[in-house]
Amino acid sequence: MIRLTTAGESHGKGLFAIIEGLPRGLKIDLDKINGELYRRQCGYGRGARQKIERDEVEILSGVRNLLTLGSPVTLAVWNRDYENWKDFMAPEGCDTEGRRVENVRPGHADLAGMIKFGAADARDILERASARETAVRVAAGGIFRQLLLSLGIEVTGFVRSVGTSRDENTYTFEEIQKGRSKDLCMLDSKAEERAKREIDVCKEDGDTLGGAIELRVRGLKSGFGSPMTYREKMDARIASALMSVQAVKGVEVGGGFSLSALKGSEAHDEISFENGKFTRASNRAGGIEGGASNGEELVFCVAMKPIPTLMRGLNTVNYTTKEKTKASAERSDVCAVPACEAVCESALLCEIAKIVSERLGGDTLTEWKKRYGELPL
């Protein structure tokens, strides 16, 4: 069974991932993984740190001659900015007062984490809670993407909205893959121009913007996940995986909340049998019924809140003195919705890979392919 564990701090030596359960014989394309990392760092409204890091993955174990061995795969994404922070972050010994954070930031893990762990410095919390952690999750997602592609399973997505600028159009899987822009990962150029104007205004005001992301999965056969126990339900597991991404505050499956306003005759997908397989006239269920995949495309929508680090600072208190003050400001983005899209794809890829591994089993990629090919549609 596939398992992913990550470690590392935002300004520490690096970010690391250990992937267990990968089958032997998967060919790894490092350029494609680095392409995913590059996509995570791009986007209109990103902050200065993206110009410092230029992330690239290094494989430390579990791969030989670019083929997985069946043993745990260890990935590293080194923090180039560590050279500027080692005096304050070095695990071997450092100055813990120089970059101390006591003005806790609303919307971050600072205050809750300090109370939970008994810390007097929010630095000990924010370094791990930071969205910088997602760099190595995207690297791992690059491996999961290659694994699933070997079975014919694909994942894509795009930015549906930024702030109040929303794209209401419907797109095919191919249109999303080929048409999303580099700047904001949107498909509608008019909606994107409106979004850029909103981002520019927020930048001038020291404010931030969130948005919505649509994700798709195609090629996944029916019967993954299960209606038999609540912990096996695919929609519950994927919602949990997507909610684990920093700043994500909501997940919809298929029609989501819009289904609550419809009649039953309007909300469900009628079934027919054509050309030797079951089909549905619509896909309001988002490819999942009763907690299991039904063979249609999986469809999810993710809501990302505005980044809570505002350069102008929100009202807060000093953790030690309890006096009113302005929140501390780390380097921040005005808008990171395109980056969040790349991260959400990786989180989705990871959970789909886990679910697939549980049903297929097998120690080699050859076994995986054989077993997947034998499954009914």
- For 187-206, write each residue's pLDDT tens digit: 999 999 999 999 999 999 98
Give the tens place of pLDDT for each residue, 346-366: 999 999 999 999 999 999 999
Structure tokens at 29: 């394309």
Residue 162 burial class via C-beta count within 10 angstroms: exposed 0-12, middle 13-18, buried 19 and up: buried
Reported pTM: 0.95
Q: Show Cβ contacts of residue 238 under 8 Å, excluding neighbours closer than 6 positions.
A: 251, 253, 298, 300, 348, 351, 352
Q: Which residue has the tokens 């409204």?
A: 45
Residue 48 has pLDDT above 60, yes or no: no
- Strand 211-218 relative to strand 298-304: parallel, antiparallel, unpaired? antiparallel
What angle is formed at CA 45 by the lines to CA 41 and CA 48, rounded to 5 degrees?
Answer: 60
Is there a contact between 341 and 322 (Cβ–Cβ < 8 Å)?
A: no
Q: What integer is the mean pLDDT of 168-172?
A: 97
180-189, 214-223, 331-340: least confident range: 331-340
Q: Which of 58-62, 134-138, 271-275 has the lowest mean pLDDT?
A: 271-275
Cα(303)–Cα(256) distance, integer angstroms: 12
Please give the Cα distance from 171 to 154 (Å, whole number).
16
Alpha helices for the chain (secondary structure H): 30-41, 49-53, 86-89, 110-117, 123-129, 134-149, 173-179, 189-205, 234-243, 264-267, 337-360, 365-374
Rounded Cα distance between 150 and 356, Å, is: 12
